[in-house]
Amino acid sequence: MIGWVTIGVLVLVLIAGCSGDKAKELLETAEFEERQMNLPHAQQLYEDVIRLYPSSQEAETARARLAALNR
C-alpha cells in the first residue's frame, strides 16, 4: 500500500514540475520569435502561455509582452 502512495506522489510531483517547465519553454520560444521579428508567431505563443498557464509568472510576462507589441 505504501508503495502505491509513493508512486502516486512521485507522479504528481513530476507532472507539476513538467507544467512549469513547459510554460517556461513556451515563453522562451515566444521571446525568441519576437527577437527574430516573427511577431505574429510570437503573439500567438504569448497568447498560448496565457491560455494554458493563466496564473503563472510566465503568463504575467506574456501579458506584458503582448501589451508592448500592441502599442
Tell me which residue of 21, 61, 15 sits closest to 42, measured CA to CA: 61
pLDDT of residue 37: 97
pLDDT of residue 56: 97
CB 49 within 8 A of CB 23: yes
What tens digit of pLDDT does each residue of 12-37 get? 445 555 555 999 999 999 999 999 99
Q: What percentage of the chain carries pLDDT values higher than 90?
A: 72
Q: Say how many C-beta atoms besides its own lie within 10 A of residue 20's C-beta.
A: 13
Sorted by where each begins, the domain ranges of the chain are 20-69
The mean pLDDT of the chain is 84
pLDDT of residue 14: 52
